[in-house]
Structure 1
Amino acid sequence: MEQGKAVYLVLNLVEPHGLPHILLVSFAFEMKKMIACIFLLFGHILLSTVSVMAKDLPGGRFIRRRDVNSQSLLENTCNNKRLDLVFIIDSSRSVRPYDFEKVKEFILTILQFLDISPDVTRVGLIQYGSTVKHEFSLKTFRRKQDIERAVKRMMHLATGTMTGLAIQYAVNIAFSESEGARPLKQNVPRIIMIVTDGRPQDPVAEIAAKARNSGILIFAIGVGRVDMNTLKSIGSEPHEEHVFLVANFSQIETLTSAFQTKLCAQDLCAVEKHACEQICVNTPGSYVCQCYEGYELDANGKNCVVVDYCALDNQGCQHECVNTEDSYYCRCHPGFILNPDKRTCRRPDYCALQDHGCEQECVNTDDSYFCRCQEGFRLNPDKKTCKRVDYCALSDHGCEHLCVNGDRSYTCHCFEGYRLRSDGKTCKRKNVCKSVNHGCEHICASADNSYVCKCREGFVLREDGKTCRRRDICKSVNHGCEHVCVDEDDSYVCKCHEGFLLREDGKTCRNKDICSSVDHGCEHVCVNADESYICQCYEGFALREDGKTCRNKDVCNSVDHGCEHVCVNTDSSYICQCYEGFVLREDEKTCKNKDICKSVNHGCEHLCVNNDDSYTCQCHDGFVLRQDGKTCRNKDVCKSVNHGCEQLCVNTEDSYICKCREEFTLKEDGKTCRYKDLCKSIDHGCEHVCINNNNSYSCQCHEGFVLRQDGKTCRNKDPCKSVAHGCEHICVNNDDSYICKCQEGYVLKEDQKTCKRCTEGPLDLVFVIDGSKSLGEDNFEIVKQFVSGILDSLEISPKAARVGLLQYSTEVRTEFTLKQFSSAKDMKKAVSQMKYMGRGSMTGLALKQMFERSFTETEGARPFSANVPRISIVFTDGRAQDEVSEWAARAKRNGIIIYAIGIGKAIEEELLEIASEPPYKHLFYAEDFTAMEDISEELRAQICEGSESTTIAITDVIACPNLAIHHKYLFEDSHTHSTTTAKASKDKDQCKCENLVTFQNYATNEVRKLTQRYILSE
């Protein structure tokens, strides 16, 4: 055997599918043992030879399973080897439970030779299927035995194969400093060891390349029929050092020694000239170059170039994008200024920015402004004020009489009595009355340069100098006045002599006071009437029929009448009357009962007949009176009367009944028969009314309802019109019922009928909006409208509601923070301009950013001590590609109220994990986007209620007999409370005996936590 060579055995194996595989079996490990034996025999003379041979052994990519000596691994650990190592394990359905256990054994074997501690090697683990599950992070465990226990407890997911999503999660989350990765400047190697058995169901090459470019070394291990090109697109180069393929999971542990060699290799950055321009990072058996912040590796993998942040779609800058050391900013072309969104540009309004001093108009230019005058004016030498143009003075206008300036030129005018000739300059005298009569009713007469109006014979000119009237109308017409005719302008009026009044005919007259002028004969009072008079009586008297004399109205009250029941006044006397059911006796004063049968308990079974001062009992036809003189018995009614029974007559004790033959049933008239009642004999299913139709039936509805297409059930025609719905604003029909809605800016009260304006209390609200590919651009527009609708119901201002918005897909983008906008108008504009991301669905990553950043004071959230409600509305339309429970739970534990909205394929379990308690208040789900308006209505009401303070005054708490402590804002610190406890405090009366234990226990726990914090701080 030649030095430095290994022996390979080639086997041709045929699997059940008939696909041949070449399996190269490496004897490198046995070779090492052989050389080690020689070294023991011949001493350290051969040490250098062994090193060379071990180094030169070619690595076979296809490896057959062999036994690994775990004791040798323990003896050869990576002492003091600093690594950040993350395992990514395929947990898809194709990995059988037995094989999954093999993977766990492989991980446990790798752990044996690692020097695990926070200062040396840190280990994290991710498993993935359709989603990503972060089993533990780089900072979770400090000891090897704790990691081993976590690996053994790991459960198989058995779902899809989202390999790219898992790598993306590792780059964004697992290798973040917040999850335990050490900063890049410490030059600690970052390593991914990924195990997969199938083709990824998502793009992987681009994501893996991004991971490698960020300085992460990737070992790709394929099992079974994995495509080698896929493995190469994942693993680092050179591929022969970082890409491995084994036939099955039982052979995966054969790779252990190879990884021990690579992971425990010497730090090449320290011993070799690495040629890295900025940073060299040691990797197992090699090294990689990295760059300082703001730089990125060139194509040669060694030199660094400044990161061009502006290369990505110009970062949305309208004009220019300018790179800085670690970021970028937008800049505008000369003559433009940046808008508040820090991306778009506009021309500055110089006229509005300063006191331009222009008298009439200010006009903006590219970099300044100038003053301009309106038409008919020109600018004065001061370039600011204006004066009217005197066109008459500028030239020889040629006007014979007058020159008059206009806006653009001048016109010639003539003196009074003259008119302008056709040349527009000279004038001629005009015949004043020739063309018009100037309003003269009769005659227009020219007079010098003017005119006068005149009237025809028999008329005189009125004071207006234009119209005419007759001289004396009363003499010229037959006026018909009984007393006096008086001329009035164009007509006349009739008037009466003193003591008379004009009648309605306007001509004749009547006497004003007839009572004074005649002998009226009235006993009490005489009252003048139109052309006569009438007599009236004093109070308490009435006029007799003679129309002159009077009588006392109420004789009954003035005398002792003696009537037993009622006294009735007559003309000059009275009569006695009796109450209903009584008649007057012969003395005409007392009364007796008219109907004894009604006034006593006579006991007659059928009829009671009055008989003078007594009564007798009688029976109905077909009955005879029994001996007791009160009760009756039936004769043979069926024979004695025309009973009318259509089929059968059956005597009863005192009467009879009609019956029908077997196949018939009695109708409602109790006599005639019809076929049996199908409506009663079968399950007809009619919701309201079943109507028999001969041998069948039909369904009908009550008034105001119509039959549905099923022919059985009914719906209300118009519930909003047919019932007193009580909706204060809007009633909306909803199939069989109705719902009340409110106008914009209002929400429903608890009675679900009346409306109230959304409270203006302080509120910090963050939207977390799904921008994944499954949503689609059309539905994304609906979501934007939904957000705008919520904004309309809030009072947006720094002191009232502050609102922020995150959009997420495979990454999270802050559209605007809580402090960015102070008006709903600007906020809605930003929402309308929001661009759809259209990629994956990392809901857990979005919840993490919402919790860790969006509700910080640096992004505009008010401090906890301000007691401002913190609310997040999370919208999603499908299953998340990462874990949501951890970050949702953290947010809720820290007092953030989360409303979860799911549409379409959203998973109920995930929505329950996201939403605050109770779910019926904080979780909304609909099959499609048509229900968004209803969700918006309910959500606005919930948010408005959430912005109202529910804190109980401390004086109210002390008033409790047992001093039960209100917990919501008891300690003014960063400590917050879960919504479940907050609800308990709202729903329970703390002063009731049955609730004292709950609140006292809670208060005790809070005091204990507070005490611990102060002890630790000291």
Structure 2
Amino acid sequence: PHGPNQKCKSGPVDLVFLIDSSRSVRPHEFETMRKFLIDILNTLDIGLDTTRVGVVQYSSQVRSEFSLKTHSKLENMVKAINEIVPLAQGTMTGLAIRYLMNEAFSPGQGDRPKVPNVAVIVTDGRPQDRVAEVAAEARERGIEIYAVGVARADMTSLRAMASPPFEDHVFLVERFDLIYQFGLQFQDKLCAIDLCAEGKHDCEQICISTPGVFTCDCNKGFKLNRDKRTCTNMDMCNTVKHGCDYQCVNTPGSYHCICPEGQLLQDDGKTCGTCKSANIDLVLLIDGSKSVRPQNFELVKKFVNQVVDSLDVSAHGTRVGLVQYSSRVRTEFPLNMYHTAEDIKAAVMKVDYMEKGTMTGLALKHMLEYSFSEAEGARPASRNIPRIGLVFTDGRSQDDISEYAKKAKEAGITMYAVGVGKAVEDELREIASDPVEKHFYYTTDFSAINTIADNLKLNVCPAESQGEVEVKDPCACENLVEFQQATMNSLDQFTQKHILSK
């Protein structure tokens, strides 16, 4: 414990006093405040490299008596405090805190970077303006606020200004002459021990001490976690065996592999190849709103069937589901209903046209919650079979699409958006996955959507989409051997199952 005359040896602090000089503060009370200020300054280690002090008085306006960089000597500060003339108007505490934040603690007025900012607000006050928001903003910017209420002060307002924990930062002093008690507590707080030096912290990497409190920081390449203690390695690529074929990319606390342009990341997440298996789970959402018109709806169905023709449909290959939406949403058939392209195309041609409004947001929600569920035939996420959603629309949605367009992509669904006629480009772009240019298509005219179907190579190798290679060429030696092998195996299993079980 230090005696009354011992100077406080805290780390450097930038300290600003905000003194309420509204007319409700009586002259003798203002004198007590003046004395209180001088008493506290007497205990501090004042100097441009140690504790810098600024004093601001406020009532309906704000007046800086001296800034953090004005005085480097205690006696000059005392002289300036003795010369303060009270403003004696209203009580605009919110205005004063804003001044504190924008002006008093600014480099121009002598605020030092990396030095704690502490503000002491002394008020009898019931503010006539709003303080909660501006005080929260000041605390957010790292200003530690003590609120000292005297005489008739309002506790709720004091708590709205002060930093948490309140028991350390809010002081209600019934009589102005008791203000010195706060002074003693405040000195203790400001002269508190260096917690970092004493090892009283649990920072994983770096401890930064401010009077009586500490904060943690990280070494280069690390980021502070939400617990404000532990750190996350931002550079996993350099510190783990990532096994990426081509290139490793850091993400917070993790990493992933990427491939060169024109190559695809394979199922193992590490190797790169020119082709990825043609298996996808594809759900098409088609707009059946009345603006589409019957003859155009038939073109939409043909478009869907053209897309189906470009796929390798089978129970183990690509699965296709179809959802129609207008003012409501209807699953025409789920992913596990049909296993051949023929069956799918026949079912598409039988779809009835709804002819109502356009609720694209509702349709995206339905797709996310039902169409890609295992119950409706989507394969388990653990198998990493790409999930692709294709939205076809001819107009602006009547409901909000943002939430579910975002959620669909967050759920790992690759989204394509196809628009015709009055479709709104910004909506299409919002639905489409990145890179947006490769996932959204637009044409003014329904009869031109067949050209889009040709360009939409949803699950074909890049090489194939240029038409150089047939998707499945049975004459290719490798494939033939594979096919024979598979046929022999299934025949084997078949005979064993039937003959041996008798």
TM-score between both structures, scaled by the size of structure 1: 0.22
Which structure carries more helix by proportion? Answer: 2
Larger RCO, structure (CA 8 Å, separation 6 or more)? 2
Which structure carries more strand by proportion? Answer: 1
| Larger-gyration structure (1/2) | 1
TM-score between both structures, scaled by the size of structure 2: 0.43
